[in-house]
Chains A and B, each alone.
Chain A
Amino acid sequence: MTYLHNIGAYFLMIKDMFRKPTKWSVMKTLIFKDIDDLIMGSLGIVAFISFFVGGVVTIQTALNIDNPLIPKYLVGFATRQSIILEFAPTFISIIMAGKVGSFITSSIGTMRVTEQIDALEVMGINAINYLVFPKFIALMLYPFVISIAMFLGIVGGMAACFFGGYSSIDDYIIGIQTDFIPFHIAYAFIKTFAFAFLLATIPSFHGFYMKGGALEVGKASTTSFVWTSVVIILLNYILTQMLLS
């Protein structure tokens, strides 16, 4: 029962996000602030993780291929496929559910428990539009983060080849160009946009409707991370089924 209630409340929140917009002069500064916090602030960790996981994917692929009949360029090919299709859009989104999601939940939740949201509403401001809409717009730049993750993942694989000698750089480069299907990129970015929407709205929902005090803010962040990840994983399955099979 409460699940149904919450799902209903979530969709009502999304509707309210577009109602009664905040003055543009104010909204503009909020959007820039959220781009800075949510997008720019995540680049470092995303770059770091992508580069090294790209390397690991390459090493493991290379070590699992010991049949001399399998061409060497397969290492590059397999790395590219797993990074573009799965690792960058989905795995990074789970990391972001932890980083960006808990930031969103705790900052909005803190505003709730310290009555800052009430203060906005007293002034006749649509607090959902004021707080959630700029995050939604900022996360429209999320595909940019994912592109960087894809690029650095592949570069990480190349670096692993270079330092570990798992395949020659030339073979790797041939590999990442083999059988390139442009729709795979489209598939990856459709997922990315969908996940960006979830990353902006589910944590906001958990922050906005939380009750209690400082302790509950912490709990809400954890719950928000769990739900955001669960929904991302489920939607990933559904979209993959729909788009690739």
Chain B
Amino acid sequence: MIEVKDLQKSFGDAHILKGITTTFENGKTSLVIGQSGSGKTVFLKCLLGLFTQDEGTITYDGNIYSQLNSDQKRDLRSKMGMVFQGSALFDSMTIAENVMFPLRMFTKQSKSEMQDRVDFVLKRVNLPDAHNKMPSEASGGMQKRVAIARAIVNNPKYLFCDEPNSGLDPKTAIVIDNLIQEITDEYNITTIINTHDMNSVMEIGEKIVFLKDGLKAWEGSKDNIFITDNKVVTDFVYSSELFKKVRKMYLEERNT
């Protein structure tokens, strides 16, 4: 379980996270949603330790991250996988080398063991033959799959995804969302996904944390987000015409 208590972060004068408290259950997929600029990426990078928070604590299964020594931090980080918004594949390496990289860094496996593992995860993300391509030769959807493969290759306990389906067409986006959900269930990973895409919210996730201007404006289960009367949430959730219609139909249905 990841517990976040009163997380605050500023860059210079800009107060970005203004005190966020929430928890993420083990083995579940949680979504952090909110408009662009609401602080989702900063929040996730604080969880990962890429940014150091100004205030507040982050606790991983009872261990307060900021109190760990550097070996313990390294150990914890080896259990984390991250899918970055732009995939962040190493562009000087082939796809297979990208996926193998965490194994080379964190494990003492032999070359053939590593290769077997890379074959396995690339197959798992439906890229059985992409080993020798360079990232620049792969489509956006493929790059995302490789990023997922790289994030899960070392059997992480925690998986973080920053807008995993941004920049993808709707169909590929759903495939990627579902892939993350399946992998989370299959390997019992604790997954946190940042998104501003309501289609993702429809597809995947159990718990939702809604950020607005660096504050947690709402949290709850996925079922509740479509029926809550919280104005801030409904403004965001029903900003598109499609979702407005869905809501209208839903409310009419409920009233009859």
- Residue numbers of A with Cβ under 8 A of B are 23, 25-26, 33, 110-111, 114-116, 118-119, 121-125
Interface centre among A26, A33, A119 (most CB of B within 10 A): A119
Task: Tell me, yes or no, whether B104 is within 8 Å of chain A by CB.
Answer: yes
Query: Interface readout for B76-119 with A: 1 if CB under 8 Å, 0 if not?
Result: 01101010111011111000000001101110000000000000
A125 nearest CB neighbor, chain B only: B105
| Residue among B45, B84, B89, B106 making CB contact with A123, cutoff 8 Å | B106
Known contacts: A122-B48, A122-B50, A125-B105. The answer to whether A116 contacts B77 by CB under 8 A is no
Please name the residue on chain A nearest to B75 by beta carbon: A124
Counting from the closest, the 10 A-B pairs by CB-CB distance are: A115-B88, A124-B77, A124-B74, A119-B88, A115-B84, A122-B82, A116-B88, A114-B86, A118-B50, A122-B48
The prevalent SS among residues of A at the interface is helix
B88 contacts A123, C-beta separation under 8 Å: no
Chain A residues near B15 (CB-CB < 8 A): none
Task: Please give, as numbers and ranges, the residues of chain A lying within 8 Å of B48 by CB-CB distance.
Answer: 122
Does B124 belong to the interface (CB within 8 Å)? no
Q: Which residue of chain B has its CB nearest to the CB of A23? A: B105
Known contacts A119-B82, A123-B77, A123-B78, then 12 further A-B pairs from the complex at CB < 8 Å, ordered by chain A residue: A25-B104, A26-B104, A26-B105, A114-B91, A115-B85, A115-B88, A119-B90, A121-B50, A122-B48, A122-B80, A123-B102, A124-B105
A-B contact count (CB 8 A): 47
Give the total of B residues in contact with A, Cβ under 8 Å.
22
Partner of A124, one of B73, B90, B91, B104: B73
Q: How far is the CB of B44 from chain A (nearest CB, A)?
A: 10
* A–B pairs, 7, beta carbons within 8 Å: A23-B104, A23-B105, A26-B104, A114-B88, A115-B86, A123-B78, A124-B78
* Nearest opposing residue in chain B for A107, CB measure: B92
Residue of A nearest to B80 (CB): A122
B84 touches A119 (CB 8 A): yes
Q: Which of the residues A23, A26, A118 comes within 8 Å of B84, measured between beta carbons?
A: A118
Closest Cβ–Cβ distance, residue A36 to chain B (whole Å): 12
Give A115 to B86 CA distance when docked, in angstroms.
7
Report the bound CA distance from A80 to B115 in whole Å: 55
Nearest residue (CB) in A for B83 is: A119
- Output the least CB separation between B245 and chain A (Å): 37
B106 — which chain A residues lie within 8 A by C-beta? 123-124
- Chain B residues, Cβ within 8 Å of A118: 45, 50, 82, 84, 88
Pick the residue among B45, B84, B92, B101 that contacts A33 (CB under 8 A). Answer: B92
| Chain A: minimal CB distance from B14 (Å) | 13
Q: Please, how many angstroms separate the alpha-carbon atoms of A122 and B90 in the complex? A: 13
Most buried by B among A26, A33, A118, A122: A122
| Cross-interface CB contact of B77 among A26, A114, A122, cutoff 8 Å | A122
Closest chain A residue to B70, Cβ basis: A20
Q: Give Cα distance in the complex from A14 to B52, angstroms.
A: 22
